[in-house]
Structure 1
């Protein structure tokens, strides 16, 4: 077979390309398979207690049981698929619920009412067992500007409550604090609160941090603000005998300048790099961002087009880097205008209508975020939690069958390919498909058994790595 290119020349060229490819892969390793919470609940630091997550779950469950006591009511409010054919009489709803509960998983999934029934059932279970996935103890907007002595005392008290929650195992799986921004007027206050909180917490716990602890730095506009926090982390770790790199951070996208700088460039990746590997997430601040874009308060909503622009610019800058992205919050609370135990029928109706309107808005906001690839958002009130999970479960369950087919076909095709340099492209695509199921599994939308139709074993799923799955299968061939 005649060839025109000498092996020596092509090898040198391909070696050069290999170096460039590896540099690219280091910057863009692909989606991170670690668990990402579906939300972050923000609450004023002065209100945080060790049992806050449990109490929020109780309030959220009461809210759901009051305004959607069964899956039919929830389906109608949210116009879930098949809601038009659902019964209206209480007895018929009871009979249908019993019928669905008696079916096996495969039979139930074929029933027209399956999605609505599954979503409602899973929300109830989630609120009873893990209503809050992530909580941020807020020393910024949720706390406000208070006298130094008051913020000092609150930082110490909040740290003591976190330590108590660690002892009592009552904290959510993810937790952290949001300090004041490193702007010129607030930087000293932010550092002081961080120091007081961490020093107190580590003293109370004997040098232990809660699992998945992170510090949120708000209103970031320049890389130097991130660099300063990194240097502070170095000092805090050394002083408190923590292993280097222990402390992690998140940044916020809540100013137009973090989307485009004075030279017309998107600075987000430079800002993330300034975190020197400590930054794990970027959160969108809906209301600060819309305000920075000149949007008046009446129109500051997650549905405003400037938010979608910022989201896309964030995706363009950080897609494939492994940084978790979070959308912002809906600021309409699903709480009725009338309070008390002896409300008139008219007042009860007004409450129900107000809550259902807010539910629909929150549901559509969250679904819009999920469709656009933002798998996390903010919640500000326990009454918002039912709709966070309603949208999340409807999103994953509604796409389940198609996702099963795509992943099964991809696994079959990828497993018979040869292990070459192209495997990284295969693995990145497969990891994205696998992550759909990992996210659904983490939030409770599906169980481990629901992943079996993809052709993956439980052991393979537990690796959380498509690349390892392919390696394992090729060794078996």
Structure 2
């Protein structure tokens, strides 16, 4: 076999290409394997208490059990797959439920009622154990513009309540604060609240932050706002004895200018780079963005086409960077118009219809987000939580069989693929499949046993990295 290329020239060219390839991989490392919450619940800072997340779970559970006391009712309201075959009489529903309860999971999967039954029971379990995954103590829209003395006092009180929640283990797995934006008229207020809250919290906890703590900076339009936050973080870390890089942030997509700047470019990557690695997520602000696009209030919904345009532009700009993306909120609350205990039959019917209509809208919005690759969204009221999980579980469970086949086939081929040296391409493809199962596992849609059916081991699943899985299998003897 004869080769024509001079060895030294070839190696020099490939070395130059390798430098460019590695630079690209540093910029676009792929999806981050860390757990991403399926939602962020926003609540006014003045209302935050140490047990807020627990109380929200109680309200959410009561809402589900009041307006969908069984899985058949929920399936009909949401028109889940197979709902038309479910019984209508209460006795028949009870008999079907008892029969399904007595079955193994493998047996249930053969029943047409499996999806509806599984979704309902998983939602119940989630609301009882971890109803709120992520909570943002809100000093912006959820709090409003109040006198400085009042916001100062609220920042102190909210920090103390968070410290109490940390001690009592009542804090959601992910938590943070949203301060006011760094616009010219609100920058001083935003910085002051950040300083008061963090200083108080660290004093109360002996220098400890809750796990997965983050600061959200809203209405970002220029990189300099992110840079300023980074410098403030550095000062706060130094003043409070925190290790460098401890404080993390999120940005928000809320204005048309963050989708396209004055020169016709998408500035999102520059904005993320300005965070110097501290920004972990970009959240979409549905109502600020639609207002920025000139949409009148009546038509400002998540279903408006301008939202999809912004979503796709954001995904194109930040795809492969590891930045988590989150959709916005449904502003129709599943709360009946009539309150009180002595309600008439007609009032109870109107309450049920109102809640069910809001459920369908929230379910549809969340499903639309998931289909478009946005695995997180906002919730504004605890009564929205049942539909957040119902949509999420339906999405993952209805896609499970196909994803299982794909990943199982991929794992079986992994040893052959890695021997050919295609590790980066395979890792990127496999990571996307693995992330489906990790997201489904994290939110409770599937169990670890159902992930093990892919052929992965528990250790490989816990690594959360398909690259490491391939490396490990590559080192195994043939």
TM-score computed with the length of structure 2 as normaliser? 0.99
Identify the residue that residue 73 of structure 2 maps to in structure 1: 73
The 2-side partners of 1:33 and 1:98 are apart by 39
Identify the residue that residue 395 of structure 2 maps to in structure 1: 395
Shift of 1:420: 6.1
What SS does structure 2 have at the residue aligned with 1:219?
A: coil
Shift of 1:460: 1.1
Shift of 1:410: 1.0
Query: Bigger shift: 3-12 or 49-58?
Result: 3-12
Identify the residue that residue 406 of structure 2 maps to in structure 1: 406
Contact map agreement 2:418 2:470 (CA 8 A) in 1: no
Identify the residue that residue 233 of structure 2 maps to in structure 1: 233
The 2-side partners of 1:471 and 1:199 are apart by 44
Q: Deviations over 1:315-334 (max 9, x none)?
A: 00000000000000000000
Q: Are residues 1:93 and 2:93 paired?
A: yes
Identify the residue that residue 417 of structure 2 maps to in structure 1: 417
Identify the residue that residue 144 of structure 2 maps to in structure 1: 144
Q: Deviations over 1:79-131 (max 9, x none)?
A: 00000000001111011011111111111111100000000000000000000
Shift of 1:277: 0.4
What pairs with 1:243-262 in structure 2 (closer than 5 Å)? Answer: 243-262=243-262
Identify the residue that residue 219 of structure 2 maps to in structure 1: 219
Identify the residue that residue 210 of structure 1 maps to in structure 2: 210
What pairs with 1:148-163 in structure 2 (closer than 5 Å)? Answer: 148-163=148-163
Q: Deviations over 1:250-282 (max 9, x none)?
A: 000000000000000000010000000000000
The 1-side partners of 2:231 and 2:100 are apart by 57
Identify the residue that residue 197 of structure 2 maps to in structure 1: 197
The 2-side partners of 1:244 and 1:458 are apart by 33
The 2-side partners of 1:299 and 1:232 are apart by 38
Identify the residue that residue 29 of structure 1 maps to in structure 2: 29
Identify the residue that residue 373 of structure 1 maps to in structure 2: 373
Shift of 1:471: 1.5
What SS does structure 1 have at the residue aligned with 2:56?
A: helix
Cα distance 1:82–1:230, how it changes in 2: closer, same or farther (>3 A)?
same
What SS does structure 2 have at the residue aligned with 1:42?
A: strand
Shift of 1:418: 3.6
Q: Are residues 1:53 and 2:88 paired?
A: no
Identify the residue that residue 105 of structure 2 maps to in structure 1: 105
Identify the residue that residue 316 of structure 2 maps to in structure 1: 316
Identify the residue that residue 64 of structure 1 maps to in structure 2: 64
Q: Deviations over 1:327-385 (max 9, x none)?
A: 00000000011111111111111110000000000000000000000000000000000
What SS does structure 2 have at the residue aligned with 1:246?
A: coil
Identify the residue that residue 361 of structure 1 maps to in structure 2: 361
The 1-side partners of 2:139 and 2:372 are apart by 30
What SS does structure 2 have at the residue aligned with 1:110?
A: coil
Shift of 1:2: 1.9
What SS does structure 1 have at the residue aligned with 2:280?
A: strand
The 2-side partners of 1:247 and 1:458 are apart by 31
Shift of 1:452: 1.6
What pairs with 1:173-192 in structure 2 (closer than 5 Å)? Answer: 173-192=173-192
Shift of 1:417: 2.2
The 1-side partners of 2:355 and 2:338 are apart by 11
Q: Are residues 1:337 and 2:337 paired?
A: yes
Cα distance 1:420–1:161, how it changes in 2: closer, same or farther (>3 A)?
farther
What SS does structure 2 have at the residue aligned with 1:331?
A: coil
Shift of 1:419: 4.7
Identify the residue that residue 459 of structure 1 maps to in structure 2: 459
Identify the residue that residue 306 of structure 1 maps to in structure 2: 306
The 2-side partners of 1:223 and 1:297 are apart by 29
Identify the residue that residue 429 of structure 2 maps to in structure 1: 429
The 2-side partners of 1:270 and 1:122 are apart by 41
Shift of 1:168: 0.3
Identify the residue that residue 263 of structure 2 maps to in structure 1: 263
Cα distance 1:62–1:361, how it changes in 2: closer, same or farther (>3 A)?
same
Identify the residue that residue 443 of structure 2 maps to in structure 1: 443
What pairs with 1:269-280 in structure 2 (closer than 5 Å)? Answer: 269-280=269-280
What SS does structure 2 have at the residue aligned with 1:94?
A: helix
The 2-side partners of 1:384 and 1:323 are apart by 25
Consecutive aligned runs of 4 or more in structure 1 exceeding 4 Å deviation: none
The 2-side partners of 1:98 and 1:21 are apart by 58
The 2-side partners of 1:418 and 1:317 are apart by 30
Q: CA RMSD in A?
A: 0.7
Number of corresponding residues = 477
